[in-house]
Amino acid sequence: MYSKILIDHFRNPRNMGRMENPDGVGKVGNPACGDVMYIYIKVGKNEKGEEIIEDIKFETFGCAAAIGTSSMVTELAKGKTLEEAEKISKDDVAEAVGGLPPIKMHCSLLASDGLKAAIADYRKKKGKGDAAEG
Amino acid sequence: MERVYLDYASTTPVDGRVVEAMLPYFTERYGNPTSFYSFGQEAKQAVEEARAKVAELINASPEEIIFTSGGTEACNLAIKGFALKNKKRGKHIVVSKIEHFAVLEACRWLAERGFEVSYLDVDEYGFVSPETLEQAIRGDTILAIVNHANNEIGTIEPIAELAEVAQDRGVAFFSDACISNGSVEIDVARLGVDLLALSAHKMYGPKGVGALYVAKGTRLEALLHGGGQERKLRSGTENVPGIVGFGRAAEIAKKEMRSEAERLRKLRDELIREVLRIPRTRLNGHPERRLPGNANFAFAFIEGEGLILELDFAGISASTGSACSSPTLEPSHVLTAIGLSHAEAHGSLRVTLGRFTTREHVKRLLEVLPRVVKRLRDISPFKESFEDYVEGTEWKGGEHRHV
Q: Tell me the average confidence (pLDDT) per consecutive run of 10 residues in chain B, 403 residues long.
A: 94 98 97 94 97 98 98 98 98 98 97 98 98 98 98 98 98 98 97 98 98 98 98 98 98 98 98 97 97 97 94 96 73 95 93 98 98 97 74 38 34
Distances (CA, A) of B212 to B64, B70, B74, B175: 8, 9, 5, 10
User: Is A59 in contact with B327 (Cβ distance < 8 A)?
Assistant: no
User: Where in the sequence of chain B do the CATH 3.40.640.10 domains occur?
Assistant: 16-253
Interchain CB distance below 8 Å, A63 and B313: no
Question: Looking at residue A127, what is its pLDDT?
Answer: 87
Give the three-state DSSP class for B190.
helix
Cβ contact B156:B184 at 8 Å? yes
Domain with CATH 3.90.1150.10 in chain B: 4-9+257-380
Enumerate domains of chain A plus CATH numbers.
12-123 (3.90.1010.10)
Where do the DSSP E strands lie in chain A? 24-30, 35-45, 51-61
- pLDDT value at position A69? 96
**Which among A30, A65, A103 has CB closest to B400?**
A30
**Cα A96–chain centre separation:** 13
- Please judge whether A26 and B394 are an interchain contact, meaning their C-beta atoms are less than 8 angstroms apart: yes
Residue among A14, A36, A103, A125 with most chain B CBs within 10 A, to mutate: A36
Q: Following CA atoms B227, B230, B236, B242 in sequence, which dihedral angle do they give, to the nearest 10 degrees?
A: -150
Distance from C-alpha of B192 to C-alpha of B215, rounded to nearest angstrom: 9
Say yes or no: B389 contacts chain A, CB-CB below 8 A: yes
Q: From the CA of B379, how many Å to the nearest CA of chain A?
A: 5
Contacts of A16 in chain B (CB under 8 A): 378-379
- pTM (2 d.p.): 0.93
Strands B141-145 and B195-199: unpaired
The answer to whether B347 touches B303, Cβ cutoff 8 Å, is yes
Cα-based angle A18, A19, A21 (whole degrees, multiple of 5): 140
Of A19, A28, A88, A107, the catalytic one is A107
Residue A90 pLDDT:
95
CATH number for the domain formed by residue range(s) B4-9+257-380: 3.90.1150.10
B382/A61 touch (CB, cutoff 8 Å), yes or no:
yes
Would you call A33 a catalytic residue per the annotation?
yes
What distance in Å separates residue A96's CA from the closest CA in chain B? 20
Give which of A61, A69, A89 to mutate to test B binding, by max B Cβ within 10 Å.
A61
> Dihedral (C-alpha) B359, B362, B364, B365: value to the nearest 10 degrees?
180
Reported as a single tens digit per residue, the pLDDT across A18-62 is: 999 999 999 999 888 789 999 999 999 999 999 999 999 999 999
Q: Identify the active-site residue in A1, A30, A33, A95.
A: A33
Cβ–Cβ below 8 Å for B306 and A63:
yes
Give the pLDDT score at B331.
87
Give me the half-sphere count of Cα atoms (radius 13 Å) on the Cβ side of residue B56: 16
Query: Is B391 touching A (CB cutoff 8 A)?
Result: no
Is the CB of A63 less than 8 angstroms away from the CB of B382? no
Cβ <8 Å between B378 and A36: no
Q: How far apart are CA B188 and CA B177, in angstroms?
A: 11
- Substitution target in A8, A28, A38, A63 with the highest count of B β-carbons within 10 Å is A63
Return phi, psi of residue B283, to 5°: -90, 130
Check CB contact of A64 with chain B, cutoff 8 Å.
Answer: yes
In angstroms, the CA B205 to CA B249 distance is 5
Q: Any chain B CB within 8 A of the CB of A106? A: yes
Positions of B annotated as catalytic residues are 324
Nearest to B403 among A13, A66, A105 (CB): A105
Interface test with A, best of B400, B401, B403 (most A CBs within 10 A): B400
Whether ipTM exceeds 0.85: yes
Cβ contacts (< 8 Å) between A11 and chain B: which residues?
313
With a CB-CB cutoff of 8 Å, which residues 338-357 of chain B face chain A? 341-343, 346
- Tell whether B23 is within 8 A of chain A (Cβ): no
Please give the backbone phi and psi of residue B188, each rounded to the nearest 5 degrees, phi first. Answer: -65, -30
**List of chain B residues whose C-beta atoms are within 8 Å of the C-beta of residue A13:** 379
Q: For residue B305, list chain A residues with Cβ-Cβ distance below 8 A.
A: 63-64
Nearest CA in chain B to A28: B396
Query: In the 8-state DSSP scheme, what is residue B17?
Result: H
Secondary-structure class of domain B16-253 per CATH = alpha beta
Q: How many Cβ contacts (< 8 angstroms) between chains A and B?
A: 107
Task: Give the nearest chain A residue to B300 (CA atoms).
Answer: A61
Cβ neighbours of residue B21 closer than 8 Å, sequence gap 6 or more: B244, B245, B247, B248
Question: Mean pLDDT across the stretch A120-131?
Answer: 86
B250 by DSSP, 3-state: which?
helix
**Contact with chain A for residue B385, Cβ under 8 A:** no
Instruction: Give CA–CA dist B394/A122, Å, rounded.
Output: 13
